[in-house]
């Protein structure tokens, strides 16, 4: 009888152990859920805007519980509807896409697939869809800081600055979303008594056109140009190197981008104005994993870390302390709301007057 009792106890303990093991395995499966995230972009390799979004993909790709897929859909918009549909059918936890040229395809897909979550990494128009979270960036603030730095450089005694109070800005296209970058740029230049030359290559990839426009600006007296035109900016940096002048980068640290491969170009880039799409992507995926994925829209400015000035070692070495101190003061005032920065999107009727005042000869 005792042997039978011992045998029963052993069997009971064995069953209990296997039962606990099964529960632990189930718990472990739940804890190690892998989130599948698709990135639908026209392309990467622009050395600016879309590369910054892809940098966000690479950040979350390092997570143990995230798998990402990059889909380069091309810039032929006739193919985007079918590509978005195929992506929705593939069963991703999150689809990341956006930009003013392509966001309509995101919204159409979101309406057709209400159970699919979407992240619009840079919206121009918002749609009231419960499965879409969209962010935009206060690029007007970014432009105000860029205009401050450029204006202080052109009125300084820095080695490659000239006696003319002229700065330039090259913008990919003459559309409201892009002019939003330069409304504040023009505003502060006028406040500081500096003339602005504006160029529109109507492209984000034509580096030769960017170089042509930039050389004309440098030859017309500009000594620093801010490029806001994606891959066109490579041509701007080439022009700056040839002319012995300065340039400002955009979206990411463009000095760091070129310092190894093309140091002569990097040497012209005294600072870059960051539009932190990479960090916005990371934040969206973090919210997804935490079970706190939102809907609606959000604007990320300097205070929220959505945009800002990259103050790398080269900036600290090249730009005099007196200028950096003034720029830091402006950064603080913009962050605290002490400066009312002009917005082209918020005040489209006022843009013509701001532009005219900035481009007039001083």
Supply the DSSP string of 20-82, one letter for each residue. Answer: HHHHHHHHHHHHTPPEEEEEEES-S-SSSHHHHHHHHHHHHHTSTTEEEEEEE--S-GGGHHH
What six digits make up the tokens of 250?
């955009």
Contact 143, 182 (CB under 8 A): yes
Residue 100's pLDDT is what? 86
Query: From the centroid of its chain, how far is CA 164?
Result: 32
Those residues whose C-beta lies under 8 Å from the C-beta of residue 153, and which sit 6 or more positions away, are 161, 167, 223, 224, 246, 270, 319, 323
- Of the candidates 241, 213, 218, the one whose C-alpha atom is nearest the C-alpha of residue 228 is 213
Gap between the Cα atoms of 90 and 116, Å rounded: 10
Q: Position of tokens 């230049």?
A: 189
Q: At what angle do helices 49-61 and 277-289 cross, to 10 degrees?
A: 30
Contact 342, 293 (CB under 8 A): no
Those residues whose C-beta lies under 8 Å from the C-beta of residue 303, and which sit 6 or more positions away, are 335
Residue 31's pLDDT is what? 65
Contact 180, 343 (CB under 8 A): yes
**Could you tell me the mean pLDDT of each successive run of 10 residues in the chain, 362 residues long?**
43 45 51 93 90 97 98 96 98 96 96 98 87 96 98 98 98 96 98 99 96 99 97 97 98 95 98 95 97 95 94 98 98 96 97 98 82
Gap between the Cα atoms of 213 and 235, Å rounded: 9
How many beta carbons lie within 10 A of that of residue 336, not counting itself?
10
Question: In Å, how far are 139, 306, 327 from 144, measured between CA atoms?
Answer: 9, 15, 10
Q: How many helices (H) and strands (E) does the chain have?
A: 14, 12
The 3-state DSSP class for residue 149 equals helix
Fold of the 34-137 domain: Rossmann fold (3.40.50)
Gap between the Cα atoms of 351 and 345, Å rounded: 9
Gap between the Cα atoms of 182 and 184, Å rounded: 5
pTM: 0.82
> Is residue 264 within a helix (H) or strand (E), and if so which, with residue range?
helix 263-266
β-strand partners of 296: 133
Q: What is the CA radius of gyration of the chain?
A: 26
Residue 243's pLDDT is what? 99
- Start-end ranges of CATH 3.40.50.2300 in the chain? 34-137, 139-274+308-359
Contact 273, 226 (CB under 8 A): yes
The 3-state DSSP class for residue 157 equals coil
Residue 226's pLDDT is what? 99
Question: In Å, how far are 32, 63, 79, 158, 344 from 82, measured between CA atoms?
Answer: 32, 30, 6, 53, 34
Spatial strand order in the sheet of 118-120: 66-72, 35-41, 94-97, 118-120, 132-137, 296-300
CATH no. for 139-274+308-359: 3.40.50.2300
Q: At what angle do helices 351-359 and 176-191 cross, to 10 degrees?
A: 50
């Amino acid at each position: 009888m005792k042997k039978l009792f011992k045998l029963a106890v052993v069997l009971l303990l064995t069953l209990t152990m296997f039962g606990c093991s099964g529960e632990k395995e189930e718990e472990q499966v739940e804890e190690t859920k892998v989130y599948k995230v698709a990135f639908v972009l026209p392309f990467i390799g622009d050395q600016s805007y879309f590369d910054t979004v892809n940098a966000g993909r690479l950040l979350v790709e390092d997570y143990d519980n995230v798998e990402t897929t990059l889909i380069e859909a091309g810039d032929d918009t006739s193919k985007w509807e079918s590509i978005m549909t195929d992506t929705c059918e593939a069963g991703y936890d999150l689809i990341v896409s956006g930009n003013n040229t392509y966001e309509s395809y995101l919204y159409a897909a979101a309406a057709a697939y209400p159970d699919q979550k979407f992240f619009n990494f840079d919206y121009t128009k918002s749609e009231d869809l419960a499965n879409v979270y969209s962010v935009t960036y206060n690029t007007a603030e970014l432009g105000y800081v860029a205009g401050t730095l450029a204006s202080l450089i052109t009125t300084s005694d820095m080695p490659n600055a000239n006696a003319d109070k002229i700065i330039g800005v090259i913008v990919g296209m003459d559309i409201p979303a892009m002019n939003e970058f330069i409304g504040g740029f023009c505003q502060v230049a006028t406040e500081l008594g500096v003339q602005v030359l504006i160029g529109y290559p109507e492209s984000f990839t034509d580096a030769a056109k960017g170089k042509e426009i930039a050389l004309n600006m440098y030859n017309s007296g500009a000594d620093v140009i801010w490029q806001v035109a994606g891959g066109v900016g490579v041509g701007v940096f080439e022009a700056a190197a040839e002319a012995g002048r300065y340039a400002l980068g955009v979206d990411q640290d463009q000095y760091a981008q070129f310092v190894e491969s093309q140091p002569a170009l990097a040497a012209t880039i005294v600072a870059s104005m960051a539009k932190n799409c990479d960090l916005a992507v990371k934040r969206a995926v973090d919210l997804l994993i935490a079970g706190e994925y939102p809907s609606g829209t959000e604007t990320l400015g300097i205070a929220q870390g959505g945009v800002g000035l990259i103050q790398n070692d080269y900036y600290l070495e090249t730009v005099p302390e007196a200028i950096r101190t003034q720029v830091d003061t402006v950064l603080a005032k913009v962050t605290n709301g002490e400066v009312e920065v002009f917005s082209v999107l918020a005040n489209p009727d006022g843009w013509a007057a701001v532009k005219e005042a900035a481009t007039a000869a001083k």
